[in-house]
Amino acid sequence: MNDGIDRRRWHAALVETDPGEKCRRVAVLSLADPAPLDADDPRPLPGRPARPTLVHPRDVPHRGLGTVDGRAALMHAIAHIEFNAINLALDAGWRFTGMPARYYADWLSVAQDEARHFAMLRARLQSVGYDYGDFTAHNGLWEAAEKTAHDPLLRMALVPRVLEARGLDVTPGMMQRLREAGDTETVAILDVILREEVGHVEIGTRWFRHLCAQRGLAPDATFATLLAEHGVRLRAPLNLEARRAAGFAESELALASAERR
């Protein structure tokens, strides 16, 4: 199998449990001749630290942004998303073999961006007296990865094009609320993340359409069918400008607008 991945190093980054070390491992990854994987490696996938404690999404407390604690809780929630996104990008390259070389280069670039985003948010958290793991979190993103582990087309449709695209929709509102609270430092970080996440969602769109073409499927209709089959509804607000930049077709945006009515 020659997919361009140094599979041993890629695997080591994926299973690494220490957040700082995971970011360091991801930063130095490159595409290279593949190396054999140690099939006896007992460590679970994906690697993550013992904290934060994972709870049901409804049990994650919601805090206002009028206090440092409230803003730290929001930073932590976004940092947790970015940490999971590192594992999602690595898993997309590790799990789905036989794709073109650009596919692996794309997901490596995403993993490296997500690691940088996480590091920025963690440093910001530490600057206000907290660290990653100090608040509870939920496991929704990785659960979506597990549900789509058998099919790269489904993964591209439901993770980057649904869950990550949701970040394009809600981040501008979070930034405005943080501006109103005077937290310009976190706003600056989110501005970087929002701009780069457009490219990440576009990568998901690109490979979703590649796989549709490979299977003789119409991408817009297939996306609508998958949303219906998996009970996914696109909720307001929608960042139409960012979604267009991320490759969403007008028919897909019209479908999303229709669901809002």
Ordered by where they begin, the domains of the chain are 7-36+44-260 (1.20.1260)
DSSP 109-177: HHHHHHHHHHHHHHHHHHHTT--TTSS-B--HHHHHHHHTTT-HHHHHHHIIIIIIHHHHHHHHHHHHH
Q: Identify whether 57 is preceded by a cis peptide bond (ω within 30 of 0).
A: no
Q: Are 152 and 93 in contact (CB under 8 A)?
A: no
| Tokens, residue 97 | 């073999």
Q: Are 100 and 17 in contact (CB under 8 A)?
A: no
pTM, rounded to two decimals: 0.92
Q: What is the chain's pLDDT, residue by residue, as a tens digit (261 residues)? A: 456 667 788 888 999 999 999 999 999 998 874 444 444 544 557 899 999 998 888 878 888 888 999 999 999 999 999 999 999 999 998 888 889 989 999 999 999 999 999 999 999 999 999 999 999 999 888 888 889 999 999 999 999 999 999 999 999 999 999 999 999 999 999 999 999 999 999 999 999 999 999 999 999 999 999 999 999 888 878 999 999 999 999 988 887 655 554
